[in-house]
């Protein structure tokens, strides 16, 4: 077996399972750790050779990355310490012959309005084939802190404008939309957030439907995982993932996107 055949064989084996630690998950473990009961439940996005994948959003995506390296793809410091790094390392492991290029432009504290101000440099100029977005908690919290309630109309309007701008500049781009989430039980997530916060995940799902995007239901992923774990096991404050939550989110991304 020559090197090319070996790489193809390894790539096929890796892509055949959404995994934790390299082992295929059974149905109950897949539910607990993030993802669907069965492989292939997601969109099954084909990643052609040379695909450019951009992750963007707020601090959850940022993952304490070193921003001076943001123009570098597949760079350990540029990808941060969160779910993006785990997902990027997994994708490069799964597809060694694809020459995937993965970037992270998430920024701590971002709202859609702030993302729009940097959209040209942080997204469009990178010419991604796939854009994975996770945004919404700060949009809600900024409004909630000022007025005591969210502003879902503004969130929906700006979300659609942002995706439209990207699509207009990059007609062939494919979107992957992560559901904004909040884990109850943490001090920072109070009953006052509800029921209005629940409109934000619903809007993100609506955007996924409108733009034909893969959708990652992080709210239900976290809820199911948290049901079988100690309080704050998967999220330190109800929003930011713990070390276990980072793995949970990466597994969910791989399961629902189902790259092939």
Residue 168 falls inside a structural domain: yes
Q: Which domain holds residue 105?
A: 44-257
Residue 117 lies in a domain: yes
How far apart are alpha carbons 259 and 251 in whole angstroms? Answer: 12
The pLDDT value given to residue 186: 62
Alpha-carbon distance of 245 to 63, in angstroms, equals 12
pLDDT tens per residue across span 87-126: 999 999 999 999 999 999 999 999 999 999 999 999 999 9
Which comes out higher in pLDDT, residue 158 or 236? 158
- Over residues 34-58, mean pLDDT: 73
pLDDT at 228: 85
Neighbour count for residue 201 (Cβ, 10 Å): 19
Is pLDDT above 90 for 193? Answer: no
pLDDT of residue 34: 46
| 72 found inside a domain | yes
Question: Is 32 inside any structural domain?
Answer: no
Report in angstroms the alpha-carbon separations of 231 from 18, 49, 69, 222. Answer: 26, 42, 35, 12
- Within a domain: residue 241? yes
DSSP secondary structure letter of residue 180: P
Q: Nearest CA to 55 among 39, 41, 70, 42?
A: 70
**pLDDT tier at 18, thresholds 50, 70, 90:** very low
> Is the per-residue pLDDT at 238 higher than 90?
no
Number of domains in the chain: 1
Q: 28-32, 123-127, 173-177 — which is least confidently predicted?
A: 28-32
pLDDT at 181: 93
Q: How far apart are CA 121 and CA 143, in angstroms?
A: 26
Q: Is residue 165 part of a domain?
A: yes
> Average per-residue pLDDT in the chain?
84
Bigger pLDDT: 253 or 30?
253
CATH number for the domain including 119? 3.40.50.1110
CA distance 216 to 209: 12
Percent of the chain past pLDDT 70, that is, above it, reads 82
């Amino acid at each position: 077996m020559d090197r090319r055949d070996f790489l193809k064989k390894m790539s096929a084996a890796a892509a055949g399972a959404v995994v934790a630690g390299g082992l295929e998950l059974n149905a109950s473990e897949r539910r607990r750790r993030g993802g669907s009961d069965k492989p292939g439940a997601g969109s099954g996005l084909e990643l052609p050779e040379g695909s450019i994948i951009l992750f963007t959003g707020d601090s959850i995506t940022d993952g304490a990355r070193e921003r001076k390296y943001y123009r570098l793809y597949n760079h350990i410091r540029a990808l941060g310490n969160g779910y993006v790094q785990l997902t990027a390392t997994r994708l490069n492991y799964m597809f060694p012959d694809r020459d995937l290029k993965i970037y992270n432009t998430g920024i701590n504290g971002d709202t859609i309005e702030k993302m729009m101000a940097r959209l040209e440099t942080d997204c469009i100029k990178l010419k991604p084939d796939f854009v994975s977005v996770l945004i919404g908690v700060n949009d809600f919290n900024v409004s909630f802190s000022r007025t005591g309630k969210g502003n879902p109309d503004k969130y929906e309007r700006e979300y659609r404008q942002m995706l439209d701008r990207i699509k207009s500049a990059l007609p062939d781009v494919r979107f992957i939309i992560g559901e904004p989430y909040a884990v109850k039980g943490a001090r920072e997530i109070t009953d006052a957030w509800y029921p209005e916060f629940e409109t934000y995940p619903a809007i993100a799902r609506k955007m996924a439907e409108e733009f034909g995007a893969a959708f990652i239901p992080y709210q239900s992923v976290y809820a199911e995982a948290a049901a079988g774990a100690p309080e704050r096991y998967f999220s330190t404050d109800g929003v930011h993932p713990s070390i276990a939550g980072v793995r949970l989110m990466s597994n969910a991304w791989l399961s629902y996107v189902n790259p092939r």
